[in-house]
Amino acid sequence: MTTATVSHVVGEKHIDTATRSLKVFNPATGQAIRQVPMADLDFLNDAVSIAAEAQKQWRETGIAKRSRVFFELASIIRRDQEELARIISEENGKTLPDAAGEIARGLENVEFCAGALNHLKGEHLEQASGGIDVTQLKQPLGVVACITPFNFPAMVPLWMVSTAIAAGNAVILKPSEKVPSSAVWLAEAFHKAGLPAGILNIVHGDKEVVTGILEHPDIKAVSFVGSTPIAKHVYTTAAAHGKRVQALGGAKNHMVVMPDADLDGAADAAISAAFGAAGQRCMAVSVLVAVGDVADPLLEKIQDRMTGLTLGDGAREGTDVGPLITAEARDRAHRILGSAADEGATIVVDGRPAAEGMDGFFIGPSLVDNVRPGMQVYDEEIFGPVLSVVRVDSFDAAVSLINASRFANGVALFTRDGRSARQFQLEIEVGMVGINVPIPVPIGAFSFGGWKDSLFGDTHMYGPESFNFYTRRKVVTTRWPLPSESQIELGFPTN
């Protein structure tokens, strides 16, 4: 049987020719379901040239007309979201409800970008000096590149691409080769919504294409989401080639539970945030910090709830936890979980036996107690359904533990005490904070991004900061003097 090929999309044309290709797997079955062509540098160069030519006309397109594309795009995605959710589930492994939630969060940014008339307004100052006016404009960069991860095949592209296009740029989107079909679906939806050919181009590839993007002189900015080592490489390489960069890296998100917290609510939140999407979220809770004597009763409640979770194919109704993305990811989670006991931690729930005999890349939800910094299970980003428990004596100890981490993407505090909550949000050195909210992903009107090794670059993703990232400022100073006012003045101009 011939395996279907996922095409590139360049200038609205679907192209599937390539000298080499990779297999795309359904992680729930372990079977290859498609193949995706790998572009080479010549293909990338052609795509950038087409994008650059198309962008000249797109930047001249009225902003009201650009906005209409996004209103129509939102309508198309909302109408056909079940189809997109099935594609996400098949290639990523997440459950259909989780895929639907991803699409909904991506739609937030599409709707935000429909307000481009407001987001792209500049500033004007009349009479800055006698007879002189000053105007600041927001102008597009040109061609930008978006390199997106496997864990959110629709949401992250919609976060990046929508803003870049609304701001007047053309985009080269390089999706994860593990989940390529969602990006092609989105490109088709953009074109149905009225986006001109060449403004959104899908170029599949691996390291060769990524390096080409980072070094290409006509690509002016790069947005990236992935692991911290790769994010750092993307940032340093692209910046060295004169590009604007936002590179979001890994995470080790902590959830602090105070003795006064609602333990049933905290247990529900820990289960949802640690094991949703099989732990493959950069905002997943992977470390539970139990303060004081709360640990034993809280762990008992979490363990009781874990017995009701169903492991299986995300496309099947009733599944709670799907597979990991690859066999390598599964084996890595196995290895780190196995190291926990060797290093002195206690494996309370071992998810490895739950997956025995299953096809696909599964590991069951796992719970590890008595974890400490320095253990692999604490230090490494596992990106799997493994929840570590660290016991501390006080609020101050919890804050110190979190602030010592090199990751600083998201954090949560569960408490009934407003003073503790206020102190926590004041002192904690993390980019996104939840108070009784386990996954504090901001709504579309704000921006997403962590601190420390979770973000390289100084601009967060989507929302207002993203419009700043995808535009550059031009300041125009204007004077209309009378001929009689002209004179030679060699001194530096003042007001």
Question: What residue spans define the domains of the chain?
Answer: 4-250+450-476, 253-435
Distances (CA, A) of 170 to 54, 224, 455: 7, 16, 24
d(CA 247, CA 233): 9
What three-state secondary structure class fits 349? strand
d(CA 165, CA 128): 33
In the block, which residue shows the tokens 């200038």? 11
d(CA 361, CA 286): 20
Say which DSSP state 282 is in: T
**27 and 322 Cβ atoms separated by less than 8 Å:** yes
Task: For residue 126, count CB atoms less than 10 angstroms from its CB and return exposed for 0-12, middle for 13-18, buried for 19 or more.
Answer: exposed
Distances (CA, A) of 33 to 124, 185, 204, 314, 341: 55, 17, 17, 16, 37
- Terminal Cα-to-Cα distance of the chain (whole angstroms): 76
Distances (CA, A) of 429 to 271, 282, 433: 24, 17, 9
Q: Going by DSSP bridges, is the β-strand pair 285-291/346-349 parallel, antiparallel, or unpaired?
A: unpaired
**390 and 288 Cβ atoms separated by less than 8 Å:** yes
Q: List active site positions.
A: 282
Which amino acid, 366? S
Say which DSSP state 193 is in: T
CATH of domain 4-250+450-476: 3.40.605.10
**186 and 157 Cβ atoms separated by less than 8 Å:** yes
Q: What are the φ and ψ backbone dihedral angles of 218, each rounded to 5 degrees? A: -95, 0
Task: Read off the tokens for 96.
Answer: 């259909």
Domains 4-250+450-476 and 253-435 are alike in CATH topology:
no
**328 and 25 Cβ atoms separated by less than 8 Å:** no
Query: What is the pLDDT, as a whole number, of residue 2?
Result: 57
Q: Exposure pattern of 25-49 as b/e (b: 16+ CB <10 Å)?
A: bbbbbbeeebbbbbbeeebbebbbe
Say which DSSP state 294 is in: G
d(CA 200, CA 169): 9
Query: What is the pLDDT, as a whole number, of residue 60?
Result: 97
Task: Read off the tokens for 316.
Answer: 């099947």
Query: What angle separates helix 63-79 from helix 81-92, to the nearest 10 degrees?
Result: 70
Which amino acid, 36? V
Angle among Cα 96, 97, 102 to the nearest 5 degrees reads 95
Query: What is the pLDDT, as a whole number, of residue 1?
Result: 45
Tell me which residues of the chain have a pLDDT lower than 50: 1
Question: Could you tell me which residues come within 8 angstroms of residue 130 by beta carbon, excluding any fewer than 6 positions away?
Answer: none
CATH of domain 253-435: 3.40.309.10
d(CA 186, CA 178): 16
